[in-house]
Amino acid sequence: MTEPKGENMKKLLLTVALLSSTAGFAFNAQQEFQAKCQMCHTLGAQAVGPDLLMAIPRARKFFGKKADKFFLDFMKNPAASIQANPKYVATWGKPAMNAMPPQPFNADQVKKLIAWIESQKK
């Protein structure tokens, strides 16, 4: 190698940055949950948002095979999803708060996130 060390380090850092920003690559569901969901959702207890260990199975039961689509739509636009699913929302036993901001994840990321949450059930 004829390049000075600093240049190699720069290239390495750039490569790492590019790889980790590629959609779906190294998607860490636990980190995403801690950074983007935990402030409102406590697993195992109601917080600002519902206990997702209760709510996810409830949605799976209601939507059946369409549950994954519901989760994806809900992440994209919670308010629109609440409007579009009045019968499901009626099972909540209380009015929707419309407090959840949109979560820009792709389908694969939503699947991984929901699967990770479900895996936390003791």
If binding is defined by CB under 6 A, does position 72 make contact with ligand HEC? no
Q: Choose one: 8-16, 21-29, 31-39; the region binding ligand HEC (CB under 6 A).
A: 31-39
Instruction: Choose, by CB under 6 A, the member of 55, 77, 106, 118 that binds ligand HEC.
Output: 55
If binding is defined by CB under 6 A, does position 40 make contact with ligand HEC? yes
Instruction: Choose, by CB under 6 A, the member of 42, 77, 103, 106 that binds ligand HEC.
Output: 103
If binding is defined by CB under 6 A, does position 74 make contact with ligand HEC? yes
CA distances to 15, 22, 63, 110, 112 from 18, in Å: 5, 6, 37, 22, 21
Tokens 């240049």 sit at which residue?
Answer: 7
Compute the residue count for the chain: 122
50/41 Cα distance (integer angstroms): 6
Instruction: Choose, by CB under 6 A, the member of 98, 108, 120, 121 that binds ligand HEC.
Output: 98
19-24 contacts, C-beta under 8 A, 24 or more apart? 23/106, 23/109, 24/106, 24/108, 24/109
The footprint of ligand HEC (CB under 6 A) covers: 36-37, 39-41, 48-50, 52, 55, 59, 71, 74, 82, 92, 96-101, 103, 113
